[in-house]
Chains A and B, each alone.
Chain A
Amino acid sequence: MTDALFTGLSALALYAGWRVFRVDSMVRASFWLMISFIAVGGIGLLLSAPYIGVATVFMMAVEMTVMVLFMVMFMMNPAGLNPMMMVHQHRFSIGVGVVAFAGMTAATLLTDLPSNPVAAGKAIVHDLGIELLGDSMLIFETAGVTLLATMVAAVILSARTGRFGDAVEGSVPPGLEPGGTPAGRVPEKSGGHHHGHGGHDHGSHGDGRSDHAHHHEGDGHDSGGHDHAGDKEKHA
């Protein structure tokens, strides 16, 4: 029974993980990732780690729901109606993935793995609670403080305004003469939209076109007013 469940959940975890990079919509990709995580949480339950298994399911359900919002923000391909295959160095990546899997599998099979399974009837969650608020409390609390610091960092990084005005204030080098243009190389504006899709795309050929089309549409939405106004001024 346990073996059958384990086989099923493993297959589901691996299949869902593979689907993440094969579906056309990023929203669907994040739901597939959630399924993969839930399957791993289920395997955790089978491995007699009820707390971690259930915590994984809860945490990933929330995390992936938040992720879906970001996916909608950055989606290349609304509703997944067009085929999407945005990859670079595709063969190399497949090779690396296969080599990593083969290497780790070989290491697993060739190693004399220790065997000291959890005793049946052990008070696992009780022991974990004692450990968390006992000997390992410092580690547990450090994780909490790290999460707090992450929240602060995320707010700072994504804020539109900083303490001294615009968020990029201070990250722009000063001009070579007073009031001149900033020193250093100027980053290309939205460079990736115009190149970078062509050469590396080993996927199907029709895809690049639809991506480009969508990018231009996206540009119009995001910064259209500004850029067009600037262009007109330049032309005039």
Chain B
Amino acid sequence: MTLASVLIVAAGLIGIGLYGALSQQSFVMLMMGLELIMNGALLAVLGFWSFALGGMPEGQLLAIVIMAVMAVEMAAGFALVVAVYRNRQADVIESLTTLKQ
């Protein structure tokens, strides 16, 4: 287990998450992709903290901030999805074309 191997796994998670966020039509599946990207970012931060910072506690603080961002993204995202569904009966991205001019 080296820093490079941890970062490669994180890159894999980010790549899969990017694929999901770009390819899924359903809002909720798109958000799963975003969560997977955050998962990879969390792993990369943990790897850097563990192998390159000598145990500096600020590195772990960054991981906590990432977890807060995940929670915010999830809550605000689902609230937006519910609001859009209530107003437009839309649950796939293709239904939202009013911004496309």
Q: Mark B20-59, 1 if CB is under 8 A from A, else 0.
A: 1011111111001101100100110011011111110110
CA distance in complex: A84, B74 (Å): 23
* A192 pairs with B90, CB closer than 8 A: yes
Contact of B25 among A26, A63, A86, A153 (CB under 8 A): A86
Minimum Cβ distance to chain A for residue B33 (Å): 8
CA distance in complex: A87, B67 (Å): 28
Count the A residues whose beta carbon is within 8 Å of the partner chain — how many? 99
Taking the complex as formed, is A81 at the interface, i.e. its CB lies under 8 A from any CB of chain B?
Answer: no
A-side contacts of B74, CB under 8 Å: 63, 66-67
* B71 pairs with A44, CB closer than 8 A: no
* A97 pairs with B67, CB closer than 8 A: no
B-side contacts of A87, CB under 8 Å: 23-25
Most chain B CB within a 10 A radius of its CB, from A21, A86, A127, A140? A21
CA distance in complex: A17, B26 (Å): 17
* A2 pairs with B1, CB closer than 8 A: yes
Count the B residues whose beta carbon is within 8 Å of the partner chain — how many? 78
Q: Mark B59-86, 1 if CB is under 8 A from A, else 0.
A: 0110111011011101110111111011
Supply 29 A–B pairs (Cβ within 8 Å), ascending by A.
A6-B5, A20-B16, A21-B20, A37-B35, A43-B46, A47-B6, A47-B49, A52-B67, A63-B70, A74-B28, A74-B91, A86-B25, A86-B26, A86-B92, A92-B22, A93-B19, A96-B19, A96-B22, A104-B8, A108-B4, A124-B55, A136-B61, A153-B76, A154-B78, A157-B82, A168-B87, A191-B90, A192-B94, A192-B96
Interface residues of A (CB under 8 A from B): 2-3, 6, 10, 13-14, 17-18, 20-21, 26, 29-30, 33, 36-37, 40, 43-44, 46-49, 51-53, 55-56, 59, 63, 66-67, 70-71, 74, 76, 86-90, 92-94, 96-98, 100-101, 104-105, 108-109, 113-119, 122, 124, 127-128, 130-132, 136, 139-140, 143, 146-147, 150-151, 153-158, 160, 167-168, 185, 187-193, 195-197, 200, 219, 222-223
